[in-house]
């Protein structure tokens, strides 16, 4: 098969949650175990950090990978979904998995794929683990896809587990209370393995402490260890002053991920680095500071309050659930612009009404949809928006909406594209 034929095969043959939703979700680890057994159980031979959470796990994964790369470690990074290229999901030191490697792996696995009919995500997890072993990475950062307990990545035994935060998302699969969602995420906690919880929340803290206690897993809440005492937004960078609680020491970090919500992820990453250093990983202060200034360049992370065009400014942000859009709304309040234009599209299984209620009514809206079956129809989105007091125009595809927004905007206006990873992924600017 050619590389394109390989992609056509896995996209068509294997159920893909990001495209079709919950019908592709397999709440069972059996297929992943069978796939990995077939290739020699690479997960048993890798050193891994496992990261779950409702929001921030992608940014946290990339930031931690950037630091480890800066410290000289060959670092594997597995995240999802991708924005433009399938190979974004699997990287070593920021380099995407080669096309020939993808094709060779699928061809090798094809008889088993035909036999057990795994999901797209299950085969991708196995591909990542196989690639990392073949590349002899020093360490791999593995992000869960959905939940934790029954996520395909949960066949691994990591050096460290991280759960960034808990908020409402995927309730139809993970539960309709924060405690139930937390219990699913807590499924990545392993016996005796240290676990970091990014944010201390009184509603969910007991879920994590009880689970960790039952497994003798040392647990720490990152937000209890450090906090961001002050921050500024300078030249499209976020500058954070971090205070360490036990000694009141202060340090300053400059991030090329300028979303103000990144200060929470920064605290989580710093605690993860502290834990890894205790395990013998050699990471110096200058490695951390250099890496955090160049996360996008060294790991290829995009779509987090990312400026992609100026005069007018066009910002891309993959925030798509209630908490993610709440963070976007907070950022907008601190951003200077003449008029605001919002290009938005969502998927069917999100709590659309709660998301729309957080957005400013004074903006000009451009309702659209990504070209996937799971996308919410444009008219349905526009109708819900109108009931929320948001008015605008409808467009059949993302780039038509963006092009129109740019054409209508003045030089000092801000155009925000948000609501779905897939909407952001379809933006093509010259």
Residue 396: predicted pLDDT = 95
Q: Is the peptide bond before 313 cis (omega within 30 degrees of 0)?
A: no
- Phi, psi angle pair for 410, to nearest 5°: -90, 170
C-alpha 32 chain-centroid distance: 21
Q: H or E element: which one contains 48?
A: strand 48-52
The string of pLDDT tens digits covering residues 142-186 is 999 877 888 899 999 999 999 998 865 545 556 568 888 899 899
Helix residue ranges, H only, 310-371: 322-333, 352-356
Residue closest to 66 by CA, chosen among 57, 55, 77, 56: 77
343, 422 Cβ separation under 8 angstroms: no
* Beta-sheet strands, E only, within 257-348: 306-309, 313-316, 340-344
Q: How high is the pLDDT of residue 23?
A: 45
In DSSP notation, 133-159 reads HHTT-SEEEEE-SS-STTSGGGG---S
Model pLDDT, residue 236: 81
How far is the C-alpha of 273 from the C-alpha of 276, rounded, in Å? 5
With a cut of 70, list the residues of the chain below it in pLDDT.
15-27, 167-176
**CB contact at 8 A, 331 and 260:** yes
CA distances from residue 88 to 32, 58, 96, 353 in whole angstroms, order as listed: 21, 12, 6, 31
Q: Yes or no: say if 74 and 93 are a contact pair by the CB < 8 Å rule.
A: yes
- The residues near 113 (Cβ < 8 Å, ≥ 6 apart) are 13, 14, 106, 123
Nearest partner of 239 among 225, 251, 224, judged by Cα:
251
Q: Which three-class secondary structure state does DSSP give residue 123?
A: helix
Q: What is the pLDDT of residues 366-404, one digit of tens each?
A: 999 999 888 999 999 999 999 999 999 999 999 999 999
Looking at residue 78, what is its pLDDT? 98
127-154 burial: b if 16+ Cβ within 10 Å, else e: bbbbbbbebebbbbbbbbbbbbbbbbbb
pTM of the complete model: 0.92
Of all helices (H) and strands (E), which one includes residue 95? strand 95-96
């Amino acid at each position: 098969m050619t590389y394109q034929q390989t992609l056509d095969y896995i996209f068509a043959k294997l159920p893909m949650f990001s495209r079709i939703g919950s019908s592709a979700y397999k709440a069972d680890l059996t297929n992943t175990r069978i796939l990995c057994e077939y290739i020699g159980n690479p997960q048993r031979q890798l050193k891994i950090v496992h990261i779950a959470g409702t929001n921030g796990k992608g940014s946290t994964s990339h930031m931690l990978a950037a630091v480890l790369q800066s410290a000289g470690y060959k670092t594997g990074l597995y995240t999802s979904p991708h924005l433009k290229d399938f190979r974004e999901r699997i990287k070593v030191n920021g380099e995407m998995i080669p096309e020939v490697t993808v094709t060779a792996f699928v061809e090798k696995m094809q008889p088993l794929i035909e036999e057990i009919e795994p999901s797209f995500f299950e085969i991708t997890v196995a591909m990542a683990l196989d690639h990392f072993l073949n590349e002899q990475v020093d360490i791999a950062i593995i992000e869960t896809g959905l939940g934790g307990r029954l996520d395909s990545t949960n066949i691994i035994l990591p050096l460290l587990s991280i759960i960034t935060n808990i908020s409402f998302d995927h309730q139809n699969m993970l539960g309709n209370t924060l405690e139930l969602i937390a219990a699913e995420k807590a499924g990545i906690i392993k016996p005796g393995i240290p676990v970091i919880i990014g944010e201390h929340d009184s509603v969910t803290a007991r879920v994590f402490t009880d689970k960790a206690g039952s497994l003798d897993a040392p647990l720490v809440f990152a937000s209890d260890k450090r906090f961001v005492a002050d921050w500024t937004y300078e030249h499209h960078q976020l500058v954070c002053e971090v205070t360490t609680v036990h000694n009141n020491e202060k340090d300053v970090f400059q991030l090329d991920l300028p979303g103000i919500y990144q200060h929470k992820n920064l605290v989580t990453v710093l605690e993860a680095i502290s834990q890894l250093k205790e395990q013998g990983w050699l990471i110096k202060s200058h490695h951390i500071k250099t890496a955090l200034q160049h996360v996008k360049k060294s790991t290829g992370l995009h779509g987090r309050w990312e400026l992609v065009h100026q005069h007018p400014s066009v910002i891309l942000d993959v925030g798509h659930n209630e908490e993610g859009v709440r963070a976007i709304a907070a950022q907008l309040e601190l951003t200077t612009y003449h008029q605001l234009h919002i290009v938005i599209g969502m998927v069917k299984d999100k709590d659309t009404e709660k998301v729309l209620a957080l957005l400013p009514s004074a903006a000009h809206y451009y309702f659209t949809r990504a070209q996937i079956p799971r996308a919410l129809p444009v008219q349905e989105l526009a109708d819900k928006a109108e009931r929320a007091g948001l008015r605008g125009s409808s467009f059949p595809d993302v780039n038509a909406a963006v092009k129109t927004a740019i054409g209508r905007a003045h030089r000092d206006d801000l155009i925000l594209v948000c609501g779905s990873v897939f909407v952001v992924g379809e933006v093509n600017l010259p």
